[in-house]
């Protein structure tokens, strides 16, 4: 038998298979490239957000000037309100830990090289997610924070989704269902990043429209803000679902479509990060 007829069935010469095979290989490579490009872009943007938290809130706290926090927050540091100030301070400290932790958890090389580190830092990430959600819920319903009821409901659903995804991620890791664990961990990362997506999405919108459109920047309310408050987690979760389905499917067309969605998401995320960095984060450092 000719050597080229030996693979798989052994009956079909490989020049007939080569085309569909390389086509599907290219599609799955494009899908992978789309996912990696989005993740690298988002990781850079999240670390920029962390630099702002440390550079603004951390520097003010170290200098003993807690009232500087109120330049940004509507009901930030309140002298005498020990409980409220503690919840807010924990929220800001855990923002740094959870964002750095999330990026580290999703880097495959770290997971593969140091599985024990992944397990311990994963548990800490889950604990941080619980602290962030519960603290956030306390603040949103007790502090008369900016925004209207629709935004408060939207962020509260975000908190519940974080708790739900954290539970699923942990449970599936304990049961060693690693494929499902991986998908839920990505969902957890996305819902934890909801507030970051809101900032990046809002700044993209303002930059694209050359000003605030669809909301009142003074009262921080309006139809666009109500929509984006739900979109901050629903849109990333939908894109993740498109990616998961394309990954499981062997159909090149579906994988190309998902790569296109990821490429577009990368462009929008990158532009939003640049706008948020220039308009919001870097000027406060």
Min dist CB 110 to ligand HEM, Å, is: 21
Contacts within 8 Å (CB) and 24+ apart, 249-252: 250/24, 252/23, 252/24, 252/26, 252/27
Strand partners, 216: 221
Distance CA 190, CA 234 (A): 9
What is the footprint of ligand HEM within residues 206-245 (CB under 6 A)?
A: none
Distance CA 267, CA 250 (A): 26
160 binds ligand HEM (CB under 6 A): no
Nearer to ligand HEM, 156 or 254 (CB): 156
Residues in the chain: 285
Min dist CB 181 to ligand HEM, Å, is: 20
Which residue among 95, 121, 169, 232 contacts ligand HEM (CB under 6 A)?
95
Which residue among 41, 133, 259, 265 contacts ligand HEM (CB under 6 A)?
133
Q: Which residue is nearest to ligand HEM (CB)?
A: 136
Q: Which stretch binds ligand HEM (CB under 6 A): 10-18, 31-39, 157-165, 257-265?
A: 157-165
Encode 69-108: b = buried (16+ Cβ within 10 Å), e = exposed. beeebeebbbeeeeebbebbbebbbbbbbbbbbbbbbbee
Nearer to ligand HEM, 193 or 266 (CB): 193
Lookup result for tokens 């948020």 = 276
Residues engaged in binding ligand HEM (CB under 6 A)? 53, 72-76, 88, 91-92, 95, 98-99, 132-133, 136-137, 139-140, 143, 145, 155-156, 158-159, 162, 192, 195
């Amino acid at each position: 038998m000719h050597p080229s007829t030996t693979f798989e069935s052994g009956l079909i010469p490989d020049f007939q298979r080569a085309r569909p095979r390389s086509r599907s290989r290219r599609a799955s490579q494009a899908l992978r490239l789309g996912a990696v490009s989005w993740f690298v872009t988002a990781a850079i943007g999240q670390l920029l957000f962390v630099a702002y938290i440390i550079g603004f809130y951390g520097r003010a706290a170290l200098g003993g000037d807690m009232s500087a926090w109120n330049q940004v927050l509507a009901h930030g540091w309140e002298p005498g309100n020990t409980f409220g100030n503690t919840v807010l301070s924990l929220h800001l400290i855990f923002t740094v830990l959870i964002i750095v932790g999330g990026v580290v958890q999703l880097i495959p090389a770290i997971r593969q090289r140091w599985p024990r580190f992944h397990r311990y830092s994963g548990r800490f990430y889950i604990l941080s997610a619980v602290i962030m959600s519960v603290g956030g819920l306390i603040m949103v319903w007790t502090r008369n924070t900016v925004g209207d009821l629709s935004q408060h409901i939207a962020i509260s659903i975000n908190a519940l989704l974080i708790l739900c995804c954290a539970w699923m991620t942990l449970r599936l890791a304990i049961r060693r269902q690693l494929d499902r664990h991986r998908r839920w961990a990505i969902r957890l990362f996305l819902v934890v990043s909801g507030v970051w997506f809101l900032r990046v999405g809002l700044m993209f919108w303002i930059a694209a429209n050359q000003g605030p459109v669809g909301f009142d920047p003074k009262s921080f309310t309006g139809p666009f803000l109500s929509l984006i408050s739900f979109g901050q987690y629903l849109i990333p979760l939908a894109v993740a679902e498109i990616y998961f389905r394309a990954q499981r499917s062997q159909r090149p067309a579906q994988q190309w479509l998902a790569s296109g969605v990821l490429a577009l998401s990368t462009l929008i995320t990158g532009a939003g990060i640049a706008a948020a960095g220039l308009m919001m984060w870097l000027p406060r450092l």
